[in-house]
Structure 1
Amino acid sequence: MKGDYQDLVDEISALLGAPATLENRDFRLIAFGAHDSDDDLVMDPVRTRSILTRQSTAAVRSWFEAYGITRATGPVHIPAAPDAGVFRGRICLPVRYRGIVQGYVWLLDQEPGPGAEALAAAMEVAERIGVLLAEEAKAGAGLSREFRAVLTAGRGWQQDMAVAALRVALGPGAEGLHAAVCVAPWTGEAPASVPGAAAVCVVPGDAADANGVPGGSGAGPGGSGALAVLLRLRSTDALAPALTAVNRLLPRAGAAGAAGPGPGAAPDAAPGPTAGLSDPVRTLAELPAAWAQATAAARTAAARPRLGPVAQWSAIGPYRMLAALAAGPADDPATRALLGPAHRELARTAEVFLDCAGQAGRAAAALGIHRQTLYYRLGRVEQLTGLDLDDGEDRLLLHMALKASRLHG
């Protein structure tokens, strides 16, 4: 498919006598013609960024869209704007299919410029590109549907059937290493493309909640869910490209708040969307387990920002076990009162004290309080819970309850 796009872009470049670039409707680069000019203005900052990073910024997108390219059915001439990094004017050829914009072909506007006949011929090529993009989008929608089914199906034969359908939809791409990614909260539609992704979908809020995803149906106006991405990997040791792709998704997750912090953990509250990356898997049958890892890692990143905003399942330590044990909010009778909203400061004091291995001096310093204040608060914790903080098992119970409450805050 990429070769088809490149051939069509080269055809437009030849028709108009200028190098062309093709971007999808999200302004992500698909193909570009060769640049053989010595003119430095040919590669202005906007064009350079588009080619090197394969995407444009939101500001650049808004600037170009202000010229009506999303509604245009013919070539649009856009003037230069040096202040915006656009040193040369552009000609935009909207790429449409059945009236719906699929992408854009861009050329530098130069004197005397292409004639009407050449532009008409280039628009015919753009229509052929639109057909390809629409077909690819349709195939992507099918993949999203099958991918979502795997993540939301119950265990047993339903899940087995969903995995089999996804395997067929992916074709040869079903083989090899993959990792699951969870980005939450996520509002709106899934992005049209994610570098290195085999499939992308949005998991609805109710299903996201069921999987312990931060920012489920209760997060954001009208509810929100989580973005799920099935990433292709080259090897189990080469996760850097995957992490780069995930980091690029976070700014697109919107301004929806992440899940509320655990009791007394306001200073640790995550400022926005978080993401989790599973361990690599070799078969699609392992995908449900990988999704559980990714959602647990995303929830951990929301609860413990020092581990995020992108947390790897392999790096979240005790939260791996807590995620497996805590199917729902912590509700042990001994810790129930402490975990209520009235005792956030006491809960945070107890958590820091236990994180510091019961060393009062370290805990008091971390909390910024006097040691006597710490002892007073710990005494109150013992009164509320009936636990003895000198007893190892009581400490373990309290520590687990406090950490689990973060995952389901």
Structure 2
Amino acid sequence: MDLQEIAENAADLLHAPATLEDRDFHLVAYAPHGDTIDPVRMESILHRRATDAVRTRFERHGIARATGPVRIPADTSVGQLGRLCLPVRWNNVTYGYLWLLDDQERITSTEAARAMPLCERAGHLMARQARERDDLGWKVADLLSAHPDTRTQAATELTEAAAPDPPFTVAVLRTPSPEPLNPWLLPHSALTTVWQRDHVLVLPQTAARTTVDRARRLLEERNAPVQAGVYSPCLTLDHVHEGWLRARVAARAAAPGETRDWTTLGVLRLLRTAGDEALAQTTQTRGTEQLLKHPDLTETARTYLDLAGNVQKTAQALNIHRQTLYHRLRRIEELTSLTLTNGQDRLTLHLALTLSPHLDQPTQARDS
């Protein structure tokens, strides 16, 4: 019997709509019984979680510590019907709650007692799944290890644990929130972990886009900006480590609220090849460092080079007169000691300006 079947059996047994949620009030399963519904149940089903206000209101009744049924009275101010809460526990640990809409209090204590074995079964399943997901999370973290032997062992164990079929997509979501994603809210095929402050997902390629979007929304609900990067395909679990390194670069290059794919990065792929200080030493000169101290000239140079040296389009993009643009270009050449009509000089400047916003290490004086 799975968790959905438990919710359905409880609804049939107690003749009331049932909702099974984890201890963080995320929806696990639900079963209708008649047409009875209220805003709390509707919110949980539509958004797959109860609101923080609902959680606070219900927890005031001591449900987190309860070992038996708890009656939650109606609250007409918010349209909430009365309901019965059956704690879902295993080995004296609460893993969730089985809710029955029962505004008329038709469910007797005897009937509620008959449903408690269902809650015990649900608690056992939720405890086991929590352990399995924790174990998988550790194995996914081992896939990202710097030690090849550890990665090989993790790939073998995940394959034996019925990991999803390849090819895989690796996604990295960056946010200030360190709290791991709730695995109940993601598909079972999604392997997740937190590694080096990144939320990392290993997904079947066919389901990657919708799952990454779902994970992003869950993190954004914490009022934290999300930078996301993806890489695919990883043909085997042995390729996940490199996929993670590339997805990290894509997330690093993404703006808050944006998802970048490794294939769209162009020259920013160089961020994968070396550390920031080494890249700065390689791409910056004394002249480009001087230019970076002048924001208007830096923006002008970057726009001019991004538009392939088209004066008319650059002036329009910057909303300045052509003569002003020519004056700025001469000033750029003076500061950098580079000639904008020379292809190699243009490449040097364009590379320096493209990489500089993504380099975390402060630059030192370079050779000109």
Q: TM-score range by the shorter chain?
A: 0.7 to 0.9
Judge conservation of contact 1:78–1:92 (CA < 8 Å) in 2. Answer: yes
Given that 1:89 and 1:109 are in contact with CA atoms closer than 8 Å, whether structure 2 keeps it comes out as yes
Structure 1 unaligned segments of length 5 or more: list them. Answer: 205-224, 256-271
Matching residue's letter, 1:151:
L
- Which of 97, 112, 117 is the aligned partner of 1:104? 97
CA shift for structure 1 position 65: 4.0
Are 1:276 and 2:229 counterparts? yes
On the 8 A contact 2:181/2:219 being kept in 1, the answer is: no
CA contact (8 A) 1:149 1:162 kept: yes
CA contact 1:297–1:313 (8 Å) conserved in 2: yes
Determine if the alignment matches structure 1 residue 231 to structure 2 residue 203: yes
Instruction: Verify the 8 A CA contact 2:89 2:96 in the aligned structure 1.
Output: yes
Q: Give the C-alpha shift of residue 253 in structure 1.
A: 5.5
Q: 1:73 to 1:336 in 2, by over 3 A?
A: farther
Q: Does 1:30 align with 2:50?
A: no
How much does 1:135 deviate? Answer: 1.5
Q: Which residue of the partner structure matches residue 218 of structure 2?
A: 249
86-95 or 144-153, which deviates more: 86-95
| Aligned CA distance change for structure 1 residues 12 and 347 (closer, same or farther; 3 Å) | same
CA offsets 1:26-52 (integer angstroms, 9 cap, x no match): 33322222x241x3xx23344234334
Residue in 2 that maps onto 1:313 = 262
Query: What's the counterpart of residue 186 of structure 2?
Result: 195
How much is the aligned-residue C-alpha RMSD, in angstroms?
2.9
> Separation in 2 of the partners of 1:326 and 1:335?
21
Q: 1: CA distance between counterparts of 2:327 and 2:94?
A: 65
Do the aligned residues in 1 keep the contact of 2:216 with 2:226 (CA within 8 Å)? no
The one of 234, 247, 257 aligned to 1:294: 247
Once the 2 structures are TM-superposed, how far is the Cα of residue 382 of structure 1 from its aligned partner?
Answer: 2.6
Contact 2:139 2:157 in 1 (8 A): yes
Query: Would you say the 8 A contact 2:186–2:215 is kept in 1?
Result: no
Instruction: Report if the CA contact (8 A) 1:195-1:245 is conserved.
Output: yes
How is 1:6-405 mapped onto 2 (pairs within 5 angstroms)? Answer: 6-33=4-31, 35-37=32-34, 39=35, 42-81=36-75, 84=78, 86-154=79-147, 156-168=148-160, 171-193=161-183, 194-196=185-187, 197-204=189-196, 225-234=197-206, 239-252=208-221, 254-255=223-224, 272-302=225-255, 309-314=258-263, 316-319=264-267, 321-329=269-277, 330-331=279-280, 332-334=283-285, 338=289, 342-405=293-356
SS in 1 for 2:166: coil
**Partner amino acid for 2:358?**
L
Q: Deviations over 1:273-330 (max 9, x none)?
A: 211122233311121122123212211212xx6xx5222333x241563334454254
CA distance in 2, matches of 1:336, 1:136: 58
Residue 117 of structure 1 aligns with an amino acid whose one-letter code is: T
1:59 is displaced (CA, Å) by: 4.9
Q: CA separation of 1:64/1:395 partners in 2, compared to 1, >3 Å: closer, same or farther?
A: farther
1:81 to partner: Cα distance: 4.4
Change (3 A) 1:319 1:126: farther
Identical aligned pairs, as a percentage? 36
Distance 1:248 1:126, change over 3 A: same
Say which is worse superposed, 320-329 or 119-128, in terms of deviation.
320-329
Q: What SS is found at the alignment partner of 1:189?
A: coil
Q: 1:89 to 1:370 in 2, by over 3 A?
A: farther
1:360 Cα shift? Answer: 2.6
1:275 alignment partner AA: A
- Give me the whole-angstrom Cα distance separating, in 2, the residues matched to 1:400 and 1:124: 66
Change (3 A) 1:107 1:327: same
Counterpart contact for 1:276–1:310, Cα < 8 Å = yes
Q: 1:166 to 1:346 in 2, by over 3 A?
A: farther
1:339, distance to aligned residue in structure 2 (A): 7.5
Deviation at 1:349, TM superposition (A): 2.5
Contact kept? 2:15, 2:33, Cα under 8 Å: no
The number of residue pairs the alignment matches comes to 355
TM-score (norm 2): 0.83
Which runs of 5 or more residues in structure 2 are unaligned? 361-368
SS where residue 176 of structure 1 aligns?
coil
Q: CA deviation at 1:140?
A: 1.1
Structure 2: distance between partners of 1:28 and 1:62: 14
